[in-house]
């Protein structure tokens, strides 16, 4: 089972959603308060069942918020970002060499986020 790991940074507080094997699936922005970080976690839980908008295909179909957006970064790797109902980005992935791995990351968020416990370090 996955878990949300909350940790302080030099500039605030953030969370990582980790899979059962300890791999980071998604990361948040850096929040200024712990309360805002907890709200971010709740938002990921609430929106984790969202549909996927694949921006890597030509003429892709636009999906309503909340949604996962798959895109390619400057290095040509596949990434996803989870956007809330209001269009705010609430979690982002690492870069994946293969699109299938990126899609697996999204499935992992969908599976792990709703029930994931919160661990503060």
Tens digits of per-residue pLDDT, 38-59? 999 999 999 999 999 999 999 9
| Residue position matching structure tokens 């416990």 | 117
For the domain covering 3-120, report its CATH number.
Answer: 2.30.29.80
Tell me what pLDDT residue 1 has.
86
Q: Transcribe 44-67 into DSSP letters.
A: HHHHTT-EEEETTSTTPPP-PSSE
pTM listed for this prediction: 0.94
Average pLDDT over residues 26-46: 97
**Would you kindly state where each structural domain of the chain is located, as residue ranges?**
3-120
């Amino acid at each position: 089972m996955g878990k949300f790991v909350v940790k302080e940074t030099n500039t605030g507080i953030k969370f990582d959603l980790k899979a059962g094997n300890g791999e980071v699936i998604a990361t948040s922005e850096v929040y200024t308060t712990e309360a805002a970080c907890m709200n971010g976690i709740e938002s990921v839980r609430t929106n984790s069942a969202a549909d996927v908008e694949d921006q890597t295909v030509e003429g892709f179909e636009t999906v309503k918020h909340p949604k996962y957006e798959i895109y390619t970064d400057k290095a040509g790797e596949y990434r996803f970002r989870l956007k809330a109902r209001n269009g705010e980005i609430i979690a982002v992935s690492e870069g994946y060499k293969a699109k299938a791995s990126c899609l697996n990351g999204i499935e992992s968020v969908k599976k792990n986020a709703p029930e994931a416990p919160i661990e503060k370090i």
